Amino acid sequence: MQIEMWPIDRLIFYARNPRKNDHAVDNIAAGIREFGFRVPVIAKSDGTVVDGHLRLKAAKKLGLAEVPVVLADDLTDTQIKAFRISVNKMADLADWDMELLALEFADLSALDFDLSLTGFGEDELAALLADKTAGLTDPDDVPPLPEAPVTVTGDTWLLGRHRLRCGDSTNADDVAALLAGVEPHLMVTDPPYGVNYDASWRAAPGSAGPNSEGSKKNHGGAAGKVSNDNRSDWREAWALFPGDVAYVWCAPGPLNVTVHDSLAASGIAPRMQIIWAKSRLVIGRGHYHMKHETCWYAVRKGKTG
């Protein structure tokens, strides 16, 4: 088989090509831009395209001067007519091994490759990648703890370009080991926001007190005071953040203003408030119950985000 380089204007589209492919031209053009023109156009010596109409349209869109061509003059006109149909239909006859395909996409994703260049849509990619991480979805279907755990405190897992640390986020050494010299650009946090929980209410008659079955199961019968949960001004913590963008979750109400002002005072200007609209009320001890939580989107002053 001999491959020739032909001027693109020498090729002629077959007028009765039954494949509708205009919607795919941009995808194929992106693939040619990334990988090069790897699959030759098949044509007759008079320039009529036998196979490769879509590739030729993409080449024209990219402004290519010439493309590789393989001649099909050894086929009769009848064979060319049948081949033109069969070469397009044959690809539809194969099935994907979804498990192996998901592994390939996982590798590409870990290498930060643009998965859209494969021709798969966003929904297809999301389904393939989600299948690998779905795991056990029943909250009660928790595997037993191993006698000898694989991961211990101080371990750092390398997950492609991501890092996961088994440690304490309040320990400066753990944080330094996780970051490995890289300064974070983004902060997403949900700090204590002035709850000021009073443990004594659990001892009141009719409450789920510290001796209730639920408390024994979840807290070992103890319902102690949480340190610093009456605090909503965290500007000392904001001062430690070297990055430019922050998403800070906080409770609606007056304390929301405190969080806003403390961010602004730290040079991280709130730009917008994001609302998480929930499907049901969050029952608390206030006079009114809420169905939402708020998050401040903030950007360091002088930065674009």
* In the chain, domain spans: 3-93, 98-143, 149-182, 184-198+227-300
Question: One fold for both 3-93 and 184-198+227-300?
Answer: no
Q: What is the mean pLDDT of residues 126-151?
A: 76
pLDDT at 203: 57
Structure tokens, 35? 């990988």
Query: Quick one: fold of 184-198+227-300?
Result: Rossmann fold (3.40.50)
User: Given a cut of 60, is residue 223 above it in pLDDT?
Assistant: no
CATH (residue range 3-93) = 3.90.1530.10
Task: Flag the least confident range among 101-110, 192-201, 276-285.
Answer: 192-201
In this prediction, residue 131 carries a pLDDT of 55
